[in-house]
């Protein structure tokens, strides 16, 4: 851990608290304003400002106020408000963000593929999904765009996009602050100040700090792990020389330095490995037992000093220039991402995998130009986009003294020196370039009927390099051609390899939306979209043939080809005090990109491949109402049926793996038969995709009463926010051992606020202390070990906010 960073926490918190105190004293003096019953929500989902009920698009809009109130300070917490948004993270690098069950292959992340949910902050594309793990900084609004967004948002939005808009510099002085304290030593401080520097220049500065004790106790090292330690800062300058020109310069930096991230023992399941090589026999032979077989005791004994060092930031220049009848927008940006991990990939107190870490450094550059025009009968957006990225990774994979017993047989298994100290040094880099032009037209055929076609042409090129050098415990190289049994055994665990995969392609995305305004507050629409997610290259080692040579054909994977149909209805009633939006969708993807493993231990992170075809279909509904200024209620729900339509050569689940591989004419053994015959691969066509619940919902209500407290008029309020999701598969090939049970979470808050911006409330999250898993995973070598990441226990605290 970084001791300097840790010792700086009290000073950094005190500094932010001073900024907060200044804002709080002013806010308490301001307590008179009318409550607005109904508020129009403006979005920029189509790259121009519109009200959410007027756009023919399935979009969930979550305001900054609601985000703060429910404690949704990152994308993970946002899933409790958007039912069809899924988030899984074993650490910041290995993070998946999906919408409607689609987006990122479930499993360990490879640099060589792209996400299917685009993440945008103030018009800047964030290519690495690790950005989703950071705290939100001074967010004004988040739009979750569901379904393909390939025309306006690009090639890698086959499942949707998350469009984050932050608060901008103002020419009137503003200050706001927030302090939260809670159990588990939770501390969160946020502060923002904005105002003029001259008649034409305004500035905004935002800082945020979050820290919390870990939720899992390491009994071996006597420390709490899976903690939070986040720091973020952003500065913006707005230059507005006249009403026709705005130039915004922005720079931000975020850092995480948490002792994280561990998954802990959940259960074991029988595999087809010989019985002596399954978990119970191996741990007995090594005289080992986990601290607890109840994962909700939240105990581990991992023997590695974990770290999730993560830094992300960049700078951008956004120019909005009113030219002629429309607006020209230019967005120029540079982003960086540095990842410095320390992991324990065997998940146990045993030293099997002694070291597994892949530090990475990324730089990306983007440039977008677009022109927006809004007319009486025609609106259009045309633009061009350029992207370049370079990622460098330096990996180290080392085996420990328990590895021989865990992975080998016979006399070699009894000799720790065979694998102890065996180490692989991986060097890899990736270059990626993308160019696109696009356009979307809205033709108002009549006052009620609008036809909206869109088109995007995209070119992608990727090239990469991967080299793994392997050395034994004495520092001697491990090479092909060595026939000594020890060297052969070592190559079976870590094998040297060199590959230089590449990929290039041009693709066309297009869509057509027809919308009809049946009444002033009723909009019906239907959409067809044909889009794609760009191809990829394998950057973490290739599978090898019988001679041990890399299978070069597996170096690149095909683009995903997506066809999407959607129909929706947007309505408002009761004088626009209530809103009900419904959408039905069906998405089919050919050459779906997945992460697989063929049982070769040396392919440590799995590799990328294409499944034949998948489908996600379902229905979503969003309802909210505010019948009076004293009460509001919302309920959002979704039914999602996502499954593989065709995947005939998938990796088998653990209960069908580990035995002797079946040859022609042999019948594989029943699941879990020790020493049995395992199929070479499995047909999982018709089975469901990982990570997606069939049923999901979010719901809540708030009631308030006018009160006067210490001479200040305001509202006392009580609020509830809940979420539910049914069970889901947590393995790319569904397994009886990795199915996560459904769960419901309940959050409460009660407090007092004034119209001037003062707000103090107590809160409880996961108030009923629901025991649930965020995901489950398999331990190494198919011994039957299942590990998991328990969700947060019940937490409670107090938040004090003020604005001036």
- Model confidence over 749-796: pLDDT tens digits? 999 999 989 999 999 999 999 999 999 998 888 899 999 999 999 999
Confidence (pLDDT) at 191: 97
- Model confidence over 350-368: pLDDT tens digits? 999 999 888 999 999 999 9
- Model confidence over 452-478: pLDDT tens digits? 999 999 999 999 998 999 999 999 999
Q: Structure tokens of 319?
A: 């120019």
Nearest to 678 by CA among 654, 701, 699, 694: 654
When pLDDT is cut at 50, 70 and 90, the band that residue 696 belongs to is very high
Instruction: Output phi, psi for 151, to 5 deg.
Output: -70, -55
DSSP state of 116: S
Between strands 556-557 and 522-533, the pairing is unpaired
Select the more confidently predicted residue: 26 or 151.
151
Q: Structure tokens of 349?
A: 């107190």
Q: Structure tokens of 201?
A: 């220049």
Nearest to 738 by CA among 652, 799, 668: 652
The alpha carbon of 790 is separated from its chain's Cα centroid by a whole number of angstroms, namely 17
Task: Give the SS3 label for residue 54.
Answer: helix
Q: Is the dihedral of CA 44, 49, 53, 57 positive or negative?
A: negative
Which of the residue ranges 193-197, 247-251, 531-535 would you say has the lowest mean pLDDT?
531-535
- 251 sits in which H/E element: strand 245-258
Q: Is the dihedral of CA 267, 270, 273, 277 positive or negative?
A: positive
Confidence (pLDDT) at 108: 59
Give 562's Cβ-side CA count (13 Å radius): 36
Instruction: Tell me the average pLDDT across 232-254.
Output: 97
Which of the residue ranges 388-397, 545-554, 585-594, 762-771 would you say has the lowest mean pLDDT?
545-554
Task: Give the SS3 label for residue 591.
Answer: strand
Question: Does residue 714 carry a pLDDT above 90?
Answer: yes
DSSP per residue, 26-38: HHTT----PPPS-
For tokens 């508020």, what's the residue? Answer: 39
As for how many domains the chain has, the answer is 1
Q: Is the dihedral of CA 480, 484, 487, 489 positive or negative?
A: positive
Nearest to 678 by CA among 604, 619, 599: 599
Residue 7: CB atoms within 10 Å: 9
Q: Is the dihedral of CA 491, 494, 498, 499 positive or negative?
A: positive
The alpha carbon of 611 is separated from its chain's Cα centroid by a whole number of angstroms, namely 22
- Model confidence over 103-135: pLDDT tens digits? 877 665 677 778 888 899 999 998 877 777 778
Total residues belonging to the chain:
804
Q: Structure tokens of 574?
A: 């009761």
How far is Cα 778 from Cα 784, in angstroms, rounded to an integer?
A: 7
- 23 sits in which H/E element: helix 9-27
Which range among 122-131, 151-160, 684-693 has the greatest average pLDDT?
Answer: 684-693
Q: State the greatest distance between any 2 C-alpha atoms of the chain, in Å, as a whole number.
A: 87
Which of the residue ranges 80-84, 188-192, 215-219, 675-679 would you say has the lowest mean pLDDT?
80-84
SS (H, E, C) 65-99: HHHHHCCCCCHHHHCCCCCCEEEEECCCCCEEEEE
The mean of the pLDDT values for the chain is: 89
Confidence (pLDDT) at 769: 97
Residue 342: CB atoms within 10 Å: 18
Quick check: 746 and 766 in contact, CB under 8 A? yes
Confidence (pLDDT) at 34: 37
Residue 24: CB atoms within 10 Å: 23
Between strands 117-121 and 160-166, the pairing is parallel
Nearest to 534 by CA among 97, 160, 155, 98: 155
Residue 5: CB atoms within 10 Å: 14
Quick check: 190 and 203 in contact, CB under 8 A? no
The alpha carbon of 271 is separated from its chain's Cα centroid by a whole number of angstroms, namely 31
When pLDDT is cut at 50, 70 and 90, the band that residue 1 belongs to is very low
- How far from 580 is each of 101, 521, 620, CA to CA, in Å? 23, 11, 11
How far is Cα 346 from Cα 186, in angstroms, rounded to an integer?
A: 29
- Model confidence over 312-329: pLDDT tens digits? 999 999 999 999 899 999
Confidence (pLDDT) at 19: 40
- Model confidence over 277-291: pLDDT tens digits? 999 999 999 999 999
User: Taking the chain, what is the end-to-end CA distance rounded to the nearest angstrom?
Assistant: 38
When pLDDT is cut at 50, 70 and 90, the band that residue 370 belongs to is very high
Confidence (pLDDT) at 27: 39
Instruction: Tell me the average pLDDT across 88-104.
Output: 83
Domain encompassing residue 425: 3-803
Select the more confidently predicted residue: 327 or 557.
327
Nearest to 768 by CA among 750, 792, 739, 799: 792
- Model confidence over 61-70: pLDDT tens digits? 888 877 777 7
Q: Structure tokens of 331?
A: 């967005």
Quick check: 142 and 67 in contact, CB under 8 A? yes
Confidence (pLDDT) at 718: 97
When pLDDT is cut at 50, 70 and 90, the band that residue 4 belongs to is very low
Q: In which region does residue 298 sit, left (phi positive, over 0), alpha (psi from -120 to 50) or beta (all else)? A: left
Confidence (pLDDT) at 263: 93
Nearest to 645 by CA among 719, 592, 595, 724: 592
SS (H, E, C) 414-450: CCHHHCCCCEEEEEEEEEEEEEEEEEEEEEECCCCEE
- How far from 500 is each of 286, 412, 459, 469, 533, CA to CA, in Å? 40, 34, 20, 15, 22
CATH, residue 483: 2.40.170.20
């Amino acid at each position: 851990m970084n001791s300097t960073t840790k010792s700086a926490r009290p000073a950094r918190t005190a500094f932010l608290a001073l900024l907060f105190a200044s804002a709080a004293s002013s806010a308490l003096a301001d307590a008179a304003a009318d409550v607005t019953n109904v508020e129009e929500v403006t979005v920029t989902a189509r790259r121009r400002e519109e009200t959410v009920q007027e756009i023919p698009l399935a979009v969930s809009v979550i305001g900054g106020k609601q985000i703060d109130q429910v404690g949704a300070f990152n994308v993970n917490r946002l899933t409790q408000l958007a039912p069809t948004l899924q988030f899984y993270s074993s650490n910041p690098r290995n993070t998946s963000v999906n919408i409607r069950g689609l987006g990122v292959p479930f499993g360990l992340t490879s640099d060589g593929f792209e996400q299917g949910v685009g993440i945008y902050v103030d018009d800047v594309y964030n290519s690495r999904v690790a950005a989703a793990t950071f705290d939100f900084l001074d967010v004004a609004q988040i739009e979750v765009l569901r379904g393909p967004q390939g025309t306006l948002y690009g090639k890698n939005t086959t499942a949707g996009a998350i469009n984050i808009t932050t608060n901008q510099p103002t020419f009137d002085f503003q200050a706001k602050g927030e302090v939260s304290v809670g159990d588990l030593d939770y501390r969160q401080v946020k502060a923002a100040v904005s105002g003029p520097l001259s008649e034409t220049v305004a500035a905004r500065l935002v800082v945020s700090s979050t820290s919390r004790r870990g939720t899992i106790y390491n009994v071996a090292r006597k420390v709490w792990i899976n903690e939070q330690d986040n720091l973020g800062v952003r500065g913006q300058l707005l230059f507005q020389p006249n009403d026709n020109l705005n130039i915004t310069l922005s720079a931000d930096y975020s850092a995480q330095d948490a002792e994280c991230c561990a998954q802990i023992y959940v259960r074991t399941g029988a595999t087809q490995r010989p019985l002596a090589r399954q978990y119970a026999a191996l741990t007995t032979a090594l005289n080992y037992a986990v601290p607890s077989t109840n994962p909700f005791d939240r105990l581990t004994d991992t023997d590695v000093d974990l770290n999730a060092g993560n830094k992300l930031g960049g700078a951008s220049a956004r120019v909005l220039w009113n030219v002629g009848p429309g607006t020209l927008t230019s967005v120029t940006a540079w982003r960086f991402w540095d990842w410095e991990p320390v992991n324990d990939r065997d998940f146990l107190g045993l030293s099997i995998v002694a070291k597994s870490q892949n530090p990475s450094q990324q730089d990306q550059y983007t440039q977008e130009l677009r022109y927006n025009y809004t007319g009486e009968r025609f609106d259009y957006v045309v633009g061009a986009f350029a992207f370049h990225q370079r990622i460098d990774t330096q990996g180290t994979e080392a085996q420990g003294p328990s590895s021989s017993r865990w992975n080998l047989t016979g006399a070699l298994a009894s000799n720790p020196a065979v694998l102890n100290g065996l180490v692989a040094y991986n060097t890899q880099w990736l270059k990626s370039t993308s160019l696109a032009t696009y356009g979307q037209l809205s033709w108002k055929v009549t006052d009620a009927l609008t036809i909206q076609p869109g088109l995007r042409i995209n070119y992608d090129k990727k090239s990469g390099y991967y080299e793994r050098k392997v050395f034994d415990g004495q520092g001697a190289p491990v090479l092909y051609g060595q026939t000594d049994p020890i060297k052969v055994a070592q190559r079976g665990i870590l094998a040297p390899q060199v590959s230089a995969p590449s990929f290039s392609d041009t693709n066309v995305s297009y869509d057509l939306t027809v919308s009809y305004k049946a009444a002033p507050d009723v909009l019906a629409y239907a959409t067809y979209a044909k889009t794609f997610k760009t191809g990829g290259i394998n950057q973490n080692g290739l599978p090898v043939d019988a001679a041990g040579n890399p299978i070069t054909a597996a170096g690149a994977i095909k683009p995903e080809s997506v066809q999407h149909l959607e129909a929706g209805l947007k309505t408002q009633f009761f004088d626009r005090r209530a809103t009900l939006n419904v959408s039905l969708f069906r998405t089919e993807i050919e050459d779906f990109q997945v992460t697989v493993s063929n049982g070769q231990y040396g392919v440590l992170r799995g590799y990328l491949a294409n499944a034949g075809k998948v489908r996600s279909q379902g229905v979503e509904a969003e309802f909210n109402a505010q019948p009076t200024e004293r009460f509001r209620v919302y309920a959002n729900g979704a039914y999602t049926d996502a499954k593989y339509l065709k995947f005939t050569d998938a990796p088998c689940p653990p209960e069908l793996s580990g035995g002797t591989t079946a040859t022609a004419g042999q019948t594989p053994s029943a699941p879990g038969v020790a020493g049995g015959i395992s199929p070479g691969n499995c047909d999982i066509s018709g089975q469901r995709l990982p990570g997606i619940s069939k049923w999901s919902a979010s719901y809540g209500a708030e009631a308030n009463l006018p009160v006067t407290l210490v001479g200040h008029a305001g509202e006392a309020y009580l609020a509830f926010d809940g979420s539910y999701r049914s069970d889901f598969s947590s393995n790319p090939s569904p397994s009886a051992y990795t199915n996560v049970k459904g769960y419901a979470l309940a959050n409460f808050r009660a407090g007092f606020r004034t119209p001037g911006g003062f707000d103090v409330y107590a809160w409880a999250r996961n108030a009923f202390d629901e025991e649930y898993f965020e995901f489950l995973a398999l331990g190494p070598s198919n011994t039957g070990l299942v590990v998991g990441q328990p969700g947060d226990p019940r937490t409670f605290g107090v938040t004090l906010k003020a604005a001036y």
